[in-house]
């Protein structure tokens, strides 16, 4: 609660700042005012005080003093600009005294407010430029907020050495996966090599790519209690590979490879969602992750097709298709 605050700092010794300090003091709240000028100054000449403002000044005991130096607005007449005939008359004299419209000089109003602050011993500090203080305070505050996040991010991108790499290719609207083969390394890729029989664009001359395990399903199996480094790519628009139970996600950005890592620690089936709007089929861009024990995972892995086998299968289909076309 404000009442429990040690002191409220009000920046600016203008009409608003001085009035705020007086109102806080009225409710028993300590306040002080900081002003960058070396004295109380005003900009402009006359000012109209509405009934709402006058009710505030009446509440803090300054209305009579302000009213004595002001002129009361008796009313407002509205005329037609063509005929100059009167259209309406608003009679302000029927309002209560503290609900009147007043006109006064700004310097008179500020002088009354400043004198009231001095009388109530509300500190008003002049020639106090807070820009440097606020700049450093904001900087330190933001740094304190970011410090923990930087530590977490460092853990997020520093991948353990025993992590297995999983290459994830996103497309409208599905997922495909690639795992390293027996050599433990993923083959290099080029965007120009991407085709139906080579969805990841693996360089056909790279020996490390021939045994890469190709998962054409949108479900990927992972070994329980083994770190996984997710490599994310996209062939079209921005996507995001997100498994809610893993409490982590990362964008798949066209033209670049992003990554992060996690370690599954519970056997089960989990749903993969795209967490970036990617077009009309975004709602249906779903997949799955099945976390298995080591023995079950190795059985599953041995049943998957390698890039070399996939290429041979597509080549055979192409040859058979050409034979049928000739017939």
The CATH number given to whatever domain includes residue 28 is 3.50.50.60
- Beta-sheet pairing, 164-171 with 228-234: parallel
Query: Is 153 among the domain residues?
Result: no
Short-list 177, 258, 263, CA closest to 220: 177
pLDDT value of position 5:
55
Q: Is there a single domain that holds both residue 202 and residue 58?
A: no
* Position 150 in a domain: no
Let me know whether 104 and 165 are in one domain: no
Nearest-angstrom CA–CA distance, 224 and 289: 11
Answer yes or no: pTM beyond 0.85: no
Q: What pLDDT shows up at residue 326?
A: 42
Residues 202 and 110 occupy one common structural domain: no
30 in the same domain as 89 = yes
181 & 124 share domain: no
Residue 133: the pLDDT is 75
121 & 216 share domain: no
Peptide bond into 173 cis (omega under 30): yes
Task: Mark which of 79, 109, 129 sits at the end of a domain.
Answer: 129
- Report whether pLDDT(272) > 60: yes
**Cβ within 8 Å of residue 240, ≥6 positions away:** 249, 250, 251, 252, 274, 275, 276
CA distance 198 to 315: 11
Q: Pairing relation of β-strands 268-274 and 239-243? A: antiparallel
Within a domain: residue 23? yes
Domain containing residue 290: CATH number: 2.60.40.420
Average pLDDT of 200-208? 90
d(CA 314, CA 196): 9
* 7 and 77 belong to one structural domain: yes
Average pLDDT value over all residues in the chain: 87
pLDDT of residue 327: 42
Q: Tell me whether residue 102 is in a domain.
A: yes
Distance CA 252, CA 42 (A): 56
Choosing from 112, 129, 146, the residue where a domain stops is 129
Percentage of the chain exceeding pLDDT 70: 94
Full residue range of the structural domain in which residue 317 is found: 161-326
Residue 167 lies in a domain: yes
Mean pLDDT of the region 175-180: 94
Question: How many residues make up the chain in this entry?
Answer: 327
CB of 58 within 8 A of CB of 98?
A: yes
The fraction of the chain above a pLDDT of 90, given in percent, is: 48
151 domain residue, yes or no: no
pLDDT of residue 94: 76
On the question of pLDDT at 41 being above 70, the answer is yes
Same domain, 213 and 123: no
For residues 179 and 291, membership in a common domain is answered with: yes
Instruction: Give me the phi and psi of 81, to 5 degrees please.
Output: -70, -20
pLDDT digits (tens, 9 = 90+) for 130-154: 777 778 888 888 888 888 888 888 8
197 and 65 part of one domain: no
What is the reported pLDDT for 126? 87
Q: How many domains does the chain have?
A: 2
pLDDT per residue as tens digits for the range 82-114: 888 988 888 877 777 667 788 899 989 999 999
């Amino acid at each position: 609660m404000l009442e429990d605050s040690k002191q409220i700092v009000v920046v600016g010794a203008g009409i608003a700042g001085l009035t705020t300090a007086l109102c806080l003091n009225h409710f028993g709240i300590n306040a002080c005012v900081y002003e960058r000028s070396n004295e109380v100054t005003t900009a402009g000449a006359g000012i109209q005080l509405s009934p709402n403002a006058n009710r505030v000044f009446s509440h803090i005991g300054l209305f009579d003093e302000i009213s004595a130096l002001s002129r009361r607005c008796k009313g407002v007449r509205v005329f037609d600009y063509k005929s100059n005939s009167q259209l309406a008359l608003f009679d302000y004299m029927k309002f209560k005294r503290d609900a009147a419209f007043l006109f006064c000089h700004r310097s008179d109003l500020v002088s009354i407010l400043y004198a009231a602050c001095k009388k109530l011993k509300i500190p008003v500090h002049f020639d106090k430029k807070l820009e440097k203080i606020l700049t450093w305070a904001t900087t330190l505050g933001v740094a304190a907020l970011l410090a923990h996040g930087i530590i977490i991010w460092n853990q997020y991108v520093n991948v353990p050495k025993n992590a297995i790499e999983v290459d994830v290719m996103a497309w409208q609207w599905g997922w495909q996966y690639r795992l390293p083969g027996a050599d433990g390394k993923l083959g290099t890729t080029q965007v120009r090599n991407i085709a139906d029989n080579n969805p990841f664009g693996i360089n056909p001359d790279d020996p490390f790519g021939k045994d890469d395990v190709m998962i054409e399903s949108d479900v990927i199996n992972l070994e329980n209690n083994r770190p996984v480094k997710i490599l994310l790519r996209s062939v079209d628009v921005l996507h995001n590979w997100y498994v809610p139970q893993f409490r982590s996600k990362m964008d798949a950005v066209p033209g670049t490879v992003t990554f992060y890592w996690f370690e599954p620690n519970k056997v089960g089936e989990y749903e993969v969602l795209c967490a970036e709007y990617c077009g009309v089929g975004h709602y249906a861009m779903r997949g799955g992750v099945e976390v298995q024990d080591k023995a079950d995972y190795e059985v599953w892995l041995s049943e998957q097709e390698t890039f070399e086998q996939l290429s041979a299968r597509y080549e055979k289909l192409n040859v058979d298709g050409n034979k049928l076309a000739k017939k």
